[in-house]
């Protein structure tokens, strides 16, 4: 019985001693070397960064890749206070702005290059169309000149044919027909004399 009482009293003393130590540790001042704040924030991409990564071309993305987010260990070591968090947010915002500016400049360069290529191609096509139009106009003029020449030749030949027809018709009407009438009258008169037919009927 005495042994049991001694062991119980020793256990009670150890529990009281532990409680006093915990109470003293709770009310003691914190270690100045320890960090007052501890933030473990994962880095999520913002909507602006996501839209920029979707809208930028692969070439511009490869030329100016965005800065990789810091690891969780580095963030836990750097983010000690609210001011550190603000500084990190401002630095990330500045880097995002720089990346957006670079993406914007690359997109503008690509747009200008494509615009110059399209303008050059348009000029070349326009020049080719103008050359084809000039050649078509030249061919049309040649064909029109030939048609007008053939028309003049046809008109001249028609006028010659008409003049020859008029001359032959007038010659026939004025010379050939009277000569034919006279020869027919002579033939009739010879027949009358041969067969002794009176000129006037009895």
| Tokens read off for 85 | 């968090």
pLDDT of 6: 53
Q: What is the pLDDT of residue 42?
A: 46
pLDDT of residue 84: 86
Give the C-alpha separation, 120 to 128, whole Å: 12
Please check whether residue 142 is in contact with residue 96, taking contact to mean a CB–CB distance below 8 angstroms. Answer: no
Angle made by CA atoms 172, 175, 178, in degrees to the nearest 5: 105
Q: Please check the confidence at residue 164 and state whether its pLDDT lies above 70.
A: yes
Q: Could you tell me if residue 196 is left (phi over 0), alpha (psi between -120 and 50 degrees) or otherwise beta?
A: left
Residue 153: pLDDT band by 50, 70, 90 thresholds?
very high
- CB distance 69 to 43 below 8 Å: yes
pLDDT at 79: 60
Report whether pLDDT(58) > 70.
Answer: no
State both tokens at 137. 């106009």
Tell me, what DSSP letter sits at residue 34?
S
Going by pLDDT thresholds of 50, 70 and 90, the confidence category of residue 70 is low
Statement: residue 49 has pLDDT above 90: no
């Amino acid at each position: 019985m005495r042994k049991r009482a001694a062991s119980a009293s020793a256990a009670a003393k150890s529990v009281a001693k532990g409680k006093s130590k915990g109470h003293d540790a709770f009310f003691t001042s914190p270690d100045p070397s320890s960090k007052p704040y501890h933030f473990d924030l994962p880095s999520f991409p913002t909507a602006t960064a996501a839209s920029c990564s979707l809208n930028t071309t692969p070439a511009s993305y490869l030329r100016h890749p965005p800065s990789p987010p810091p690891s969780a260990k580095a963030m836990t070591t750097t983010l000690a206070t609210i001011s550190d968090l603000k500084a990190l947010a401002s630095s990330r915002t500045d880097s995002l702005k720089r990346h957006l500016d670079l993406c914007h400049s690359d997109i503008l360069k690509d747009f200008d290059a494509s615009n110059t290529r399209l303008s050059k191609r348009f000029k070349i096509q326009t020049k080719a169309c103008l050359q084809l139009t000039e050649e078509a106009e030249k061919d049309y003029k040649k064909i029109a000149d030939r048609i007008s020449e053939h028309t003049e030749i046809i008109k001249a030949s028609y006028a010659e044919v008409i003049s020859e027809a008029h001359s032959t018709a007038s010659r026939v009407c004025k010379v050939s027909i009277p000569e034919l009438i006279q020869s027919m009258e002579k033939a009739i008169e010879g027949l009358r004399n041969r067969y002794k037919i009176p000129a006037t009927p009895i």
